[in-house]
């Protein structure tokens, strides 16, 4: 089983650059979190990898072969996208059958088990499903289809808290039984932080972070104390954001602290969670793209 290699990939819509010179290797049997602001281009990246839209330049190589119009390798990946590609009058059961036929193999026992657990009535027509149940239909397919790479674009859109927990545990069960790669794009960062082995951050047209979750979390700090002491301590560090409450200040730092600088007694330092880290890393970013 080979990796997916993305080389010098760029994409513009008209004058609007969305992705610029993306270089990225997606390894087999790994769970990734793809993080990015609204409009950062996450869906665009997924759509290019799965050859639903063309790149402007660069290429995607799956198991050694260019992906464009290449059914053999495209059949090894599945994208659960935002767009609803199903005919509105089609019934859920027919959508499962059609997808199974298209991909050659799908775990129909798992399909029926998950449909029952999520309360999805397979006799329902697609058009009648709420936003939450459209997500449920698509994530069941993503978990049951027999491919090496599954791309989940906002899989929990519209899902209630119980259904989100059910999805995360079903994904971990499925991964344990048949290890493969999942790339999950989500805005509910804290909820996936424990599952995700590697973090990708897409920001200002580039992949700015591609590291293990553990390393990313180890580089995030909050430094709290009286304003003057905090700013003196963090001078020269990579301060990515701050909060201020009266004379109390919190600076958020991503990267190395200065080991030789003494920590004032008035200042306390802790690690921060992944969502807090992401919010501060990307708070200045302006969306450049809305589709």
Q: Under the rule (CB under 8 A), what is the footprint of a second copy?
A: 36-39, 43, 82, 119-121, 124, 128-133, 136, 154, 157-165, 187-189, 275, 278-279, 282-283, 286-287, 290-291
**Under a CB-based contact definition with an 8 Å cutoff, are residues 118 and 124 in contact?**
no
Q: How many residues are recorded in the chain?
A: 291
Nearest to residue 204, comparing CAs of 277, 264, 281? 281
Determine whether 242 is exposed, middle or buried from the number of CB atoms within 10 Å of its CB (0-12, 13-18, 19+): middle
Pairwise CA distance, residues 84 & 88, whole Å: 9
Q: Which three-class secondary structure state does DSSP give residue 32?
A: strand
Cα(214)–Cα(126) distance, rounded to whole angstroms? 40
Of 221 and 289, which CB lies nearer to a second copy in the complex structure?
289
Task: Report, in Å, the least distance between residue 139 CB and a second copy.
Answer: 13
Buried b (16+ CB within 10 A) or exposed e, 81-104: bbeeebeeeebbebbbeebbeebe
State which residue, 164 or 219, has the beta carbon closest to a second copy.
164
Q: How far is the CB of 172 from a second copy (least distance, A)?
A: 16
Nearer to a second copy, 166 or 269 (CB): 166
Q: Which is nearer to a second copy, 29 or 121 (CB)?
A: 121
Nearest to 62 by CA among 229, 174, 181, 215: 181
The residue (of 29 and 291) whose beta carbon lies closer to a second copy is 291
> 42 near 21, Cβ under 8 Å?
no
> Taking the complex as a whole, how short is the minimal distance between the CB of residue 283 and a second copy, in angstroms?
6
Distance in Å, CB of 8 to a second copy, minimum: 25
Of 4 and 240, CB closest to a second copy: 240
* Shortest Å distance, C-beta 115 to a second copy: 12
Q: Which is nearer to a second copy, 21 or 160 (CB)?
A: 160
Let me know if 183 is exposed, middle or buried by CB neighbors in 10 A (0-12, 13-18, 19+).
Answer: buried
Distance CA(173)–CA(114), nearest Å, equals: 12
């Amino acid at each position: 089983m080979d990796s997916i290699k993305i080389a010098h990939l760029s994409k513009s819509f008209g004058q609007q650059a969305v992705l610029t010179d993306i270089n990225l290797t997606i390894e087999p049997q790994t769970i990734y979190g793809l993080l990015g602001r609204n409009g950062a281009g996450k869906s665009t990246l997924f759509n290019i990898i799965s050859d639903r839209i063309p790149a402007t330049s660069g290429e995607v190589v799956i198991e050694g072969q260019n992906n464009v119009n290449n059914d053999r390798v495209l059949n090894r990946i599945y994208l659960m996208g935002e767009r609803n590609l199903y005919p509105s009058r089609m019934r859920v059961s027919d959508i499962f059958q059609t997808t199974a036929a298209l991909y050659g193999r799908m775990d129909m026992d798992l399909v029926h088990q998950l449909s029952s657990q999520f309360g999805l009535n397979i006799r329902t027509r697609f058009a009648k499903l709420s936003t939450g149940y459209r997500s449920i239909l698509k994530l069941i397919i993503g978990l049951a289809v027999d491919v090496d790479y599954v791309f989940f674009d906002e899989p929990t859109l519209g899902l209630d808290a119980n259904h989100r927990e059910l999805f995360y545990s079903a994904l971990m069960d499925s991964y344990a039984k048949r290890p493969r790669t999942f790339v999950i794009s989500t805005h509910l960062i804290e909820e996936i932080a424990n599952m995700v082995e590697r973090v990708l951050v897409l920001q200002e047209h580039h992949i700015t972070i591609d590291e293990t979750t553990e390393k990313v979390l180890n580089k995030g700090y909050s430094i709290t104390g009286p304003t003057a002491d905090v700013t003196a301590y963090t001078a020269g560090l990579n301060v990515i954001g701050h909060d201020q409450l009266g004379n109390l200040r919190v600076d958020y730092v991503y990267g190395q602290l200065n080991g030789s600088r003494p920590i004032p007694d008035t200042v306390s330092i802790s690690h921060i969670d992944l969502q807090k880290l992401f919010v501060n890393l990307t708070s200045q970013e302006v969306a450049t793209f809305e589709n």
